[in-house]
Amino acid sequence: MSTASHASSPNESKVKTVFRVVSGNFLEMYDFMVYGYFASAIAKTYFPSGSEFASLMLSLSVFGAGFLMRPIGAIVLGAYIDHHGRRKGLILTLGLMALGTLTVASVPGYATIGLLAPVMVLFGRLLQGFSAGVELGGVSVYLSEIATKGNKGFYCAWQSGSQQVAVVFAALIGVILNSVLPAEQMTAWGWRVPFLIGCLIVPFLFLIRRSLKETDEFLARKHHPSMGEIMKTMAQNWGIVLAGMGMVIMTTVSFYMITAYTPTFGKEVLKLSAIDVLAVTVCVGVSNLIWLPLAGALSDRIGRRPVLLTFTILTILTSYPAVQWLVADPSFLRLLGVLLWLSFLYGSYNGAMVVSLTEVMPVEVRTAGFSLAYSLATTVGGFTPAISTLLIHTTGNKAAPGLWLGVAAIIGLISTLVLYRTPEARNQYRTA
């Protein structure tokens, strides 16, 4: 009896630790999802124009602008975490994210304060992007360093798993609001409610994350590199960072296409109802949450490379035909079927990709290197809603987003082949 009790306590401790570390990651993705879901309403509030297309493009461009700050945040905050510790850095990023969310939630509309309104919204998005630049890397590295032997893929998958909880939560709020509020009220003020809910969650998340302990692996290190040393090591390993960026592009393009862009694509292109497209987004978040840890665990058993190659190739072969089938006769069921398929591809690929990125980076700059590669990729993938809107507008092809996803998968395939090009690299992390 006592033996079982002692055996279970470490597992309970690990579960609590994972929950604490991914809690802030939830807020980071929740903020980005809410902006993406309500991009149309935000466009009318802050970016009024005689052209709906121009207004929406401005709104989606500001959404993407947040990603431009991620590489800067990755370098500055990543170096801070690699020098001062995982715990301190994760608390700092949570505070910056909260400030950015509050800014976007509280700025009056263009009709009230003129040009100052979009400028302040842009500032809020840039601040969110700066903090998010290292949030994913900090969380992923923390999880990899506390993982039990042979289970790093499974542990790291919960970084992305917490994001899917945010996807579902934000979409459910959208479904409820669209059910109880008329479209005019949603455009006028209803879209602010999810942002305010995010602000109310912040104190709870601070309490959770404050209880984090530093990882044993970081404490055991005799030397914690300075900013100069980190920059030098990063420069020496630029090839790994660049290849890592290529792997992440597949993740970011597919993720933002099937989550943040779905409400806009469903309403503006497919002409489906707001409730229908948000309901599909809820299902996508649940599906992602299922596939991510399963793929992470599978990569622990058979290696990262086979999983990464399988799902990049499947994406290349099926993404455009699937979207083409959807736009040929749009319906709720077709949208659900296609998005669940793309969710399967995304979740299965990303479940192996995140842990791969923590493993290929030099240990002394693990957070900064991971975060820079991820952030550089999001400067491409984060603009997926804007790129997709522009492609459809300029080509007249409603299935063009599927082509964009296929291009991202080709980049992911090439990067995987580069990083795992030798037998040693292929087998190095099989039992890490």
Could you state, in order of their start, the residue ranges of all structural domains in the chain? 20-428
What CATH number has the domain spanning 20-428? Answer: 1.20.1250.20
Distance CA 11, CA 315 (A): 36
Query: Which residues of the chain, if any, have pLDDT below 70?
Result: 1-12, 24, 86-87, 211-212, 214-227, 422-432
- What is the number of alpha carbons within 13 Å of residue 12 lying toward its C-beta? 6
* Whether 24 contacts 97, CB under 8 Å: yes
* CA neighbor of 350 nearest in space, from 198, 222, 247: 247
Residue 307 confidence (pLDDT): 96
Task: Read off the tokens for 371.
Answer: 């975060």
**What single-letter amino acid sits at 421?**
R
The model's pTM is 0.77
Q: How many helices (H) and strands (E) does the chain have?
A: 21, 0
Distance CA 272, CA 256 (A): 19
Distance CA 22, CA 3 (A): 30
Contacting residues for 315 by C-beta, under 8 A, at least 6 apart: 250, 254, 345, 349, 405, 406, 408, 409, 412
* CA neighbor of 215 nearest in space, from 12, 366, 25, 28: 366
